[in-house]
Amino acid sequence: MWSTLPLVLKLMIAGMLDVKSWGNLMIAVVGDSDIARVEREEIEQTKIMACVNTIIIGPTFKRTSIVTILKIYSTTRDIVLAAVQKYGDALDYASEELRGDRGVVLAAVQLNGWALECASVELRGDREVVLAAVQQYGNALEYASEELRGDREVVLAAVQQYGGALQYATKKLRDDKKIVMEAVQQKGF
């Protein structure tokens, strides 16, 4: 029965078993004969699809396995996007290029605002990205650009999520009565 399963399904099953080495996984799961029949590019695309699918599959897939996959495929957008949609802080393992990809970073910070720390300098100055981050995790304001730490709406969103985020606002906004009152009303301050 195993030999009749499609290659993608074999890889998904193997991925869930948490085999330590992805290279050994290919040999162990699909066998030399299958590899000989599939062109190299097709194998790579199949591995990428299998990684994405195993990341998405659910709670039984171990986070450490996702980190292992990201160390191999840190430049592959589909895999990184699937990972950050499950664990926002997986952005920490993404390539520099993908840390500058607005879609990937936005997906990460919406799930885990702390991921803003891993974003490119350019995206730390992107108002929509920073707003999404501070609404999820107020202290993400620390990683925002200086300009956005002086943006009233961004700072207000941050202190509404966590009052202690006030410490990362510009001096002018730390002296703003409405923002200070909002921060004080939060349990985190």
In this structure, the dihedral spanned by the alpha carbons of residues 52, 12, 38 and 2, taken in order and rounded to 10 degrees, is -170
Burial of 126 (0-12, 13-18, 19+ CB in 10 A): buried
What are the angstrom distances between the C-alpha of 156 and each of 26, 28, 44, 97, 162? 51, 54, 46, 31, 10
Q: How far apart are CA 12 and CA 5, in angstroms?
A: 11
Q: Confidence band (pLDDT; 50, 70, 90) for 71? A: confident
| Rounded mean pLDDT, 66-89 | 86
For the chain, how big is the Rg over CA atoms in Å? 21
Q: What is the pLDDT of residues 111-169, one digit of tens each?
A: 999 999 999 999 999 999 999 999 999 999 999 999 999 999 999 999 999 999 999 99
Q: What is the pLDDT of residues 10-59, one digit of tens each?
A: 655 555 544 444 455 555 555 555 555 555 666 666 676 676 666 665 55
Q: How far apart are CA 9 and CA 119, in angstroms?
A: 33
The whole-model pTM stands at 0.74
